[in-house]
Amino acid sequence: MKLAELLAVADGYTVHGGRELEIAGLSYDSRRVNAGDLFFSLARDAHQNRAHLREALGRGARAVVVERWCENERPAATLIEAEKPRRLMAAIAERFYHAPSERLDLIGVTGTSGKTTTTYLLGSIFEAAGEPAGIIGTLGVAFGGRLCPGGLTTPESIDFNRWLAEMERAGVRRVAAEVSSIGLEEGRVERLNFRAALFTNLGRDHLDYHGSIENYFNAKLRLFTELLPASRRSDRIAIVRGDDPWGQRILAATRARKLSFGLSSGCDVYPLNYSAGLGGIRAVVQALDRKIELNSTLLGNINLLNILAAVALSIALGVETEAVIEGVRQFTGARGRLEIVPAKPGVTVVVDYAHKPDALAGVLESLRALGPVRLICVFGCGGDRDRGKRPMMGEIAGRLSDVPILTSDNPRSEDPLKIIAEVEAGLEQGGLRKLGESEAGIQPGYLVEPDRRAAIAAALKVAKSGDIIVIAGKGHEDYQLVGDRKLKFDDRAVVKEILSGPEN
């Protein structure tokens, strides 16, 4: 495609050099540039920018986009200076891949928790309705029986449009995508034509990036007040949790057709009655003018809300009731989301991704409602992220579990012991006493074990029949980030290894 044709869909840039160039591909990663590509340099650091541009040009980039050119000499390739390179990239990516979101039903799911499970529930319901579905999110990109690993919850616009185009060629009709606040803030989903947007909830997360909870909320609000109205799809729909104060603000602000869900009878979709146990969820749901009986193997009240969200969206899109029932019934859970791992008889082990205060509280409250003899919680906090949530996580684990076991998560560049000390402050504020290993599970209090494997082993050791162990924070992740190393570590695999060891 000609560069001039690509640039015609956007503004806010200056071109130095020829426009009548044939562009063979798009790239934002200098290591993956192919000859003839248009390369977008997105690095914030000037030194990195120069290095990436040199590498891209050395690999044959035909044109390059940068916010500002700081060198004395212009490159041999066409140079484009853009006020907002990512916004320009989004517009060009949509044009280059022939706007697949104009033809696919693209559903954007945003919120602090529940995005992954809700997108997979939607995929199951769509497939049950005979409509091939795709999923984009934290676990990767899934369609046609394939799961392709991804790096970002919400991909950069080039990858997003490329995947949508590939899904369209594969016969996919509907796509459920996780839309993160950072993805929204950075413009990764600009120019996408959303058919619907869904809001699950809002809690504390990404404050190291956004600075405040209000900024965090406003980033998510853009999906409903800017991107959804700008979509070229007709009959756009906003699905919002109606008994959530943040959701109420979205409902008041959006101009799209709207439908609310929640536990309150004031919502459009709500449960008339339900039960949640270790065998799953049973519910009778009022969905506008119809009553729907649902059976699910998912655990806990937290998943009831995810089910209600998926039901509301499906009903709004006109999916038949039987397909909704069957899609919910068939779905057995997303990887690392309240996932049960086989354990010793009488003990239930659950692995979950909860790594923020509201998510941890929701998981522990849901599991507590299942009636365990004791609730044992292995948890930690990641490094190089919002430090303010650390004592909050400690307080929640101490208040809502019987045996909190504090350990490392992904310390990244921070000292794991310093992270643990900041989390431990929340446990101490709750009046809990630090225990020795021999006291854990016998005396009231908490255990600190920095080694995550040893912490999981300690939880399995103290667990008795009727107990539930939740290992929180990493969920689907099969690695641990320590310093600049990415170590192999999968909570689920570690449980299995410990239980199959000679001491068990």
Identify the CATH number of the domain in which residue 410 sits.
3.90.190.20
Give yes or no: residues 166 and 252 share one domain: yes
In a domain, 90, yes or no: no
For 384-401, give the DSSP string: SS-TTHHHHHHHHHHHH-
> In the chain, how many H helices and how many E strands?
17, 24
Among all chains, which residue has been given the structure tokens 């035909």? 62
Give yes or no: residues 325 and 343 share one domain: no
Question: pLDDT tens digits, residue range 276-334?
Answer: 999 999 999 999 999 999 999 999 999 999 999 999 999 999 999 999 999 999 999 99
CATH code, domain carrying 17 = 3.40.1390.10
In a domain, 116, yes or no: yes
| pLDDT at residue 504, rounded to an integer | 63
Question: pLDDT tens digits, residue range 382-426?
Answer: 999 999 999 999 999 999 999 999 999 999 999 999 999 999 999
Give yes or no: residues 284 and 423 share one domain: no
What is the band of 71 on the pLDDT scale with cuts at 50, 70, 90?
confident
Tell me which of 330, 354, 382 is where a domain ends.
330
Give yes or no: residues 293 and 144 share one domain: yes
Question: pLDDT tens digits, residue range 246-283?
Answer: 999 999 999 999 999 999 999 999 999 999 999 999 99
Tell me which of 281, 304, 330 is where a domain ends.
330
Give yes or no: residues 377 and 244 share one domain: no
What is the domain extent for residue 179?
97-330
Residue 190 φ/ψ, nearest 5 degrees: -60, 145
In a domain, 92, yes or no: no
- Average pLDDT (116-124) is 98
Give yes or no: residues 351 and 205 share one domain: no
Question: What percent of the chain stands above pLDDT 90?
Answer: 92
Question: pLDDT tens digits, residue range 23-36?
Answer: 999 999 999 999 99
- Average pLDDT (194-207) is 91
The Cα–Cα gap between 16 and 81 comes to 8
In a domain, 443, yes or no: yes
pLDDT of 503 above 80: no
pLDDT of 497 above 80: yes
Give yes or no: residues 283 and 346 share one domain: no
In a domain, 259, yes or no: yes
Nearest Cα residue to 491 out of 502, 504, 476: 476
Q: Which residue has the higher pLDDT, 440 or 10?
A: 10
pLDDT of 351 above 70: yes
- Average pLDDT (29-45) is 95
In a domain, 297, yes or no: yes
Give yes or no: residues 207 and 227 share one domain: yes
In a domain, 129, yes or no: yes
Nearest Cα residue to 446 out of 383, 499, 399, 391: 399
| pLDDT at residue 467, rounded to an integer | 97
CATH code, domain carrying 267 = 3.40.1190.10
Alpha-carbon separation of residue 410 from 178, 420, 467 (angstroms): 22, 11, 27
In a domain, 288, yes or no: yes
Tell me which of 275, 309, 330 is where a domain ends.
330
pLDDT of 70 above 90: no
Both tokens of 491, joined, read: 């909570």
For 297-317, give the DSSP string: ---HHHHHHHHHHHHHHHHHT
Give yes or no: residues 243 and 290 share one domain: yes
Question: What percent of the chain stands above pLDDT 70?
Answer: 100
Give yes or no: residues 13 and 74 share one domain: yes
Give yes or no: residues 395 and 484 share one domain: yes
Give the chain's domain count: 3
Give yes or no: residues 315 and 398 share one domain: no
